Structures are given as structure tokens and as C-alpha cells.
Amino acid sequence: MNLAIRDVEYRFGTFVLTAFGVGLLLATVMAMGGIYRGIVEDGLSLVRAPRADLWVVQKDTNGPFAESSRIPDDLYKVIRAVPGVREASPVSFQSLQFEYASKLIRVQIVGYRPGNLGAPPAVAGGRPIVASRYEMVIDRKAGIPIGAQLPSGRIIFTVVGLTEGIVSSSGDPAAYISLQDAQELQFLKASEAVRNERARLQADLKANPMLAGVPAESLSEILQNTNLANAILVKLDAGAVPEEVTRRIEQWNHYRAMTTADQEALLAKTVIEKPRQQLLLFRIILMAVSTVIIALIIYTMTMEKTRDIATLKIIGAPNTKIGGLILQESLALGLLGYGFGAVLINLTYQYFPRRVAIMAFDQYVLLGIVVVICVLASFIGIRRALNVDATIAMGGGA
Amino acid sequence: MTAIAAEGVMKVFGQGDSQVVALKEANISVEPGELVALMGPSGSGKTTLVRALSLIDPPTRGHIAVGDDVVFEGERVLTDDRRMRRERMGIIFQAYNLIPFLTAAENVALVLTLNGVSKREAMKRTNKLLSRLDLAPRADTYPATLSGGEQQRVAVARAVVNDPAVILADEPTGALDTERGKAVMDLLRQLGREQHTAVIVVTHDERMIEGFDRVYHMTDGRITNH
């Protein structure tokens, strides 16, 4: 006769409600795990999307995701000539905010040369960019449909396609536009700023006797250079040695070449690491809280059965029977709670504002942890049960 | 051969100045099938003696034997007390103490399954016993919905289902009215005789001991006469 099953059946409603409470707690743990994974996946999705072998960036910088990196966009022509390079193309990255349907939508702009490296790996709806100006492919997460018109500065973009699951490390959806549009957005100054800069330049020229006669208008065109990119993406020939290509590119002194793996590692270390550690710490705290709560529930369940345990001792039930009752109930509570949590998170994860990546491996690990927690928690209850004085079942009197 | 015998049993609670001697050289011996009452005022040591005999709360000193086996000698317990209780004793409480999450039948069958009897066989024997005690219609009922009399009859069934050598009943009629109390005592007497079981009943109600073979009186921890 299994006492744990009979006890659970007897107080089924209470037990299920308690397990549901544990399930909510475990769902939060699963969500935190999913967000933790999601941050890593999101953070790396932009790096992985172009499937480049190398990223050429400004020397002494860590690339476009970690630091500011500015290089001439025509550098790709020179890099293309390096032995082992099959393809090279400039890209730019910047954060931008659009207003759409009275909502402000923050996106991660990716500027690239249509038809070249840097394009989204797949278009889930619509078509890729084919025109050199004013077209945009945006991630579904932005909630903007194909055909939408998005004004930004002097440009009005038309959404022609949608991607799936490409976001920045901060969770903003990616928006792909042509490099020319991106350069205009990133580097072209507003008319007022140009006028102010020109006036300041004119004042500086006047102050210099050698340049006093030079009109500022003739220099400002040169100074307002928008032909910049944040990185050059490189695809290598099959059989090319990345280290060798990197060495050749870095010989030009002012550029640094990083493999995609380097870029991922750097991104993980610099941009993602802190939120990752924060979430990891939060997960650990949540697990500790779960352990305490499950232990308290088991302890309370044991306390409620003190008299019954005393009776069991008097009628001769061995400690294994009494301990088994508590251990099995503890495991049943944890596993049912885990089940509730898993169902809950699987039904709701897609509604979270940031990506919640529920991985089977993480779920199995959590299941293992829950089992361990339940066993540990049951020890407190079992200890309490084994210390129950059997005489309390007989009441007072002498 | 006696079913249970105790000699020179002492029980001391506390130490030093706060020491209380609850049992003083108590001697008791009960034959198989014998029905014995343990009477005395509150605090006289009746329950302490039952606890000592069942090794639920072993004595401080003394000698206790169940059948031919010495289970307590000097100051030491010489047996696995729980095994002894589940195999050789039936214990009945004033407050019935049925396990609330088991049905009446399961409460009774539990003792058998603890002794290694299969659940199927245990339920078979239990249902037979409950039918005899007119409890068959209540077999699948949880204790909370049984009357006090029914609960105590289930408790009696639990105590006797394993054919124990000794039944120890601590105020089994204390929570029942006279009529139901007498019915429970009749049942104990009948089952004790049939199963050849020694029955020791703690009570302070003289109306309940009609037909008992012997009556032990206790005062201040001593058995004064029998």
C-alpha cells in the first residue's frame, strides 16, 4: 500500500494547488533560463546572420558591436584583392527609432550593399532588397507589415520583406537597408547642422591668414564625408587559411581582422556578459528560493501529519515506510510542479517582449535540479518525521 | 507460557530534584486469552505502563518478556520495538488514531501489508473481519465521516487483524458513550477469547470491566493489588 499516493489522492485539490504554486515558481525559473539563452542567441544572431568568415574593423577597436569602428567603405575593393578572399563588402550598424501606428519602434539598422555580403540569411516574407535606395527588410518582431512606409529623416522607407528572429543584443529587431541609405542616416548631417558647421569653419578660416580667402562652402563638401562603414565582411575561398588572410589585412596597419568566432566571443564577453551574469545570478537566487519554498512546503506537510506519523510508529511502520511517504510526496510535488511550469512556459514564452529560448537541454537540467531539490527538501521533512515522538499519538495521561 | 510479563518495571522522568518516578517496581503478567483491566486515578501510571510494555516509551529499568522473548532487560531494549509491535501487538488508542487519508479497510489492511502480506490478501482478510464487525458497508469510507463508535471498531479491527499475542488498549472507551463503550469492550473480550490473545485495557470506568478476568489497580506508579 503506497501511503504517498493515498495521501495525495485524499488531499488532491490542496496538493494540486500547491504543486501549481511550485509550478509558477518553476515557470519563472524556466523563463529566466529562456531569457538567459535568448540574450545569447539574440546577441549573436546579428553576427551570425551574414555568415562571414572575417570582419575587418578599425584598428584597436573591437568591432561594430562592442565599440565604434569607422572605416572607408571602398576598403572592400582592396580587401577583395587579398589572396584567399572570395568576397568582401562593407556593412554599417546603428540603432534607430521609427514611429509606426503611433508607436515608437526601436530597430537595429544593418546597411549593406544589396546582392552582397551582409544581406539577411533568409527572407521569411516578401522579398529581399533589390533597389539601391529606400527599401527595407525588417524583422517580424517589429510588428511592421510588408508595404508599410517608414519615414526617417529625409528618407521614407518601404518595407519589402520580413526576417525571422534577427535582433540586436538588446533585443531590438533588425532592419536591413542599403548601405547608401544607412550612410545617409548615420553620417549625413541636418541642414541646420551643416550651416552651423560651415559658419564655424568660416570663422576658423578667417582667423588663419594663410586660409582667410578660402570659402567654407568649398571645404565643407569634402569634410562631410559619408562614405564610411563600420566593418567589411569577408568571405574566404575554400581552403584559405583565415590566420594568413588576417595577417595580410592587418599589415595595412590601420585595420583589424577578426574571425566570426572572435567576434562572437568578444560580443559574448563584452556586450552580453553582464546581463548574462545578472540573469545567471537571478536564476541561482530563484533556485535557492524554490529550494527553500519546496522545503517549507514539505516540512509543513510533514508537520500536518505529525500525529499520523506517530500512529504509524506505534503500529510498527519502519522508518523506510515513513521516510518513503515524505520523499515520494516531495518528488510528486516537484515533478507535478515542474510539469505545470513546463506547460505554462511552453504556452506563454512567445508572448514575452524579449526572446525566451526554451532549450530541451536546459529543461532536462532543471528537471534534474528539481529532483535534487525535492530529495534535499524531503530530508528536512524526513528528519522531522523520524524525530516525532510516538507517544504523542497516545495523548497525555500517565 | 505468559503472553506478556513485566517485573520490577520502573519509569523515571527528569533528573535530580525535578525527578518524577512514574512507575515503581510494577509487576504484571497476562496469559494468552486473558482479559485484564488496568484501573486507577489519573496520573497513577496506567498509560506509562502501557507505553513501557509496548516499548513505545521504554522503562528506565526492569524486565519485560513477550511470550518467550525477553524484549527489555535491565536498562536495555533487546529487540526492534517497531517490529515487535507490528508482528506481536495490537494497540488501541482513546482517540482512535486512524490514518485520515486511508479508508477504514485500508487502515486495517495497513498492518498486514507492513508485515509483508500482499495487498490483495490483506484486503481479503480485512473485508472478512470488517463484515464480522458489521463495518462492511463503511469499508471504503474515510475516518472523518465515520462515527466515534465506528472509528473505534475500525481501530479494534486494526489491532486484531494480525492475530497479535497482546492487545494493549489505552482508554478505548474514553471518547464513547456508555452503550458504545460497552459494545467495544464486548468486541475486545470476544476477539481476545477467540484469538487466544492477551488483552490489557486501561480504564477508569468500572462499568466497562464487567466480565474481565483480572483487574490491576494502580496508585502513584505502583500496582497495589490484582
ipTM: 0.90
Per-residue confidence (pLDDT) for residue A397, from 0 to 100: 40
pLDDT at residue A60, as a whole number: 84
Q: How many CB atoms lie within 10 A of CB A198?
A: 17
Distance from CA of B56 to the nearest CA of A (A): 7
Q: What confidence score (pLDDT) does residue A189 get?
A: 66
Does A210 contact B at CB distance below 8 Å?
A: no
Q: What is the 3-state secondary structure (H, E, C) of chain B?
A: CCCEEEEEEEEEECCHHHCEEEEEEEEEEECCCCEEEEECCCCCCHHHHHHHHCCCCCCCEEEEEECCEEEEEECEECCCHHHHHHHHEEEECCCCCCCCCCCHHHHHHHHHHHCCCCHHHHHHHHHHHHHHCCCHHHCCCCHHHCCHHHHHHHHHHHHHCCCCCEEEEECCCCCCCHHHHHHHHHHHHHHHHHHCCEEEEECCCHHHCCCCCEEEEEECCEEEEC
Burial class (CB in 10 A: 0-12, 13-18, 19+), B63: middle
CB-nearest partner of B82 from A313, A395, A398:
A313
Could you tell me which chain B residue has the CA closest to the CA of A310?
A: B97
* Closest CA relative to residue B172, chosen from B226, B105, B106, B93: B93
Confidence of residue A398 (pLDDT cuts 50, 70, 90): very low
Task: Out of B56, B87, B142, name the one closest to residue A314 (CB).
Answer: B56
Q: What sign does the dihedral B82-B86-B89-B90 (CA atoms) show? A: positive
Tell me which residue has cell 473505534.
B152
* pLDDT for the residue numbered B141: 94
Q: Which residue of A has its CA nearest to B120?
A: A1
Mean pLDDT across chain B:
89
Is a pLDDT exceeding 90 seen at residue A196? no
Q: Which of A5, A315, A388, A392 to probe by mutation at the B interface, max B CB count within 10 Å?
A: A315
Whether residues B86 and A391 touch (CB distance < 8 A) is answered with no
Rounded to the nearest 5 percent, the helix, strand and coil shares of chain A are: 55, 20, 30
Interface of A with B in 277-296 (CB under 8 A): none
The confidence band for B71, taking pLDDT boundaries of 50, 70 and 90, is very high
CB-CB contact of A315 with B111 (8 Å): yes
Are the beta carbons of B111 and A10 separated by less than 8 Å? Answer: no
Return all residues near A75 (Cβ < 8 A) that are at least 6 apart: A56, A90, A229, A232, A255
CA distance A299 to A315: 23
Distance of CA B102 to the CA centre of its chain: 21
Whether A203 contacts chain B with CB within 8 A: no
DSSP strand pairing (A155-163 vs A135-139): parallel
| Residue from B207, B199, B144, B143 nearest B173 by CA | B207
B82: nearest CB among A7, A307, A318 = A318
Q: Residue B44: CB partners within 8 Å, gap ≥ 6?
A: A398, B218, B219, B220, B221
Disruptive mutation site among B11, B56, B151 for chain A (greatest number of A CBs within 10 Å): B56
A10, A315, A398: residue with CB nearest B111 = A315
Q: Of A50-54, A389-393, B155-159, give the lowest mean pLDDT range.
A: A389-393
Predicted pLDDT of residue A190: 67
In this complex, the residue of B86, B95, B142 whose CB is nearest that of residue A316 is: B86
| pLDDT confidence bin for A396, thresholds 50/70/90 | very low
The answer to whether the CB atoms of A314 and B85 lie below 8 A apart is: yes
Please state the pTM of the whole predicted model.
0.76
Residue A218 to residues A195, A200, A208, B56, Cα–Cα distance (Å): 13, 14, 16, 106
A3 vs B171: CB contact, 8 Å cut-off? no
Distance (Å, rounded) from C-alpha B202 to C-alpha A396? 13
- Closest residue in A to B49 (Cα–Cα): A398
How far is B160 from B176, CA to CA, in rounded Å? 20
Q: Which residue of A has its CA nearest to B143?
A: A10
Q: In the sheet where B35-39 sits, what is the strand order?
A: B89-92, B166-170, B198-202, B35-39, B214-219, B222-225
SS3 assignment, position A196: helix
Shortest Cα distance from A322 to chain B (angstroms)?
11
Q: What percent of chain A has pLDDT over 90?
A: 45
Q: What is the mean pLDDT of residues A369-384?
A: 90
A:B CB pairs within 8 Å? 92
Contact yes or no for A94/A228 (Cβ under 8 A): no
Show the cell assigned to A221. 563638401
Contacts of A313 in chain B (CB under 8 A): 56, 82
- At A108, is the pLDDT very low, low, confident or very high (cuts 50, 70, 90)? very high
By Cβ distance, the residue of B46, B85, B171 closest to A316 is B85
Tell if the CB–CB gap between A1 and B122 is shorter than 8 Å: yes
A341: Cα separation from own chain's centroid:
21
> Which positions in chain B have a beta carbon within 8 angstroms of at least one beta carbon in chain A?
22, 42-48, 50-51, 54, 56-57, 82-87, 89, 91, 93-95, 97-102, 106, 109-111, 113-114, 119, 122, 142, 158, 170-171
- The SS3 call for residue A149 is strand
Region A278-295 average pLDDT = 87
Specify which residues B29 forms β-bridges with: B5
Q: Which residues of B touch A311 (CB under 8 A)?
A: 93, 97-99
**Residues on chain B touching A395 (C-beta within 8 angstroms):** 93-95
Beta strands in chain A (DSSP E): 54-58, 71-72, 85-100, 103-112, 125-126, 135-139, 149-152, 155-163, 174-178, 228-229, 231-236, 255-259
Instruction: Answer yes or no: is pLDDT of B226 > 50.
Output: yes
Q: For the segment A58-84, what is each residue's pLDDT rounded down to a tens digit?
A: 888 887 777 778 888 899 999 999 999
Locus of grid cell 501511503: A3
| Residue B89 contacts residue B54 (beta carbons within 8 Å) | yes
Q: What is the pLDDT averaged over residues A122-139?
A: 92
Residues of B in contact with A11 (CB under 8 A): 101
Residues A83, A71: Cα–Cα separation, whole Å: 21
* Residue A3 forms contact with B (CB below 8 Å): yes
Contacts of A390 in chain B (CB under 8 A): 56-57
Rounded-to-integer distance, Cα A47 and Cα A63, Å: 11
Does the pLDDT value for residue A135 go beyond 90?
A: yes
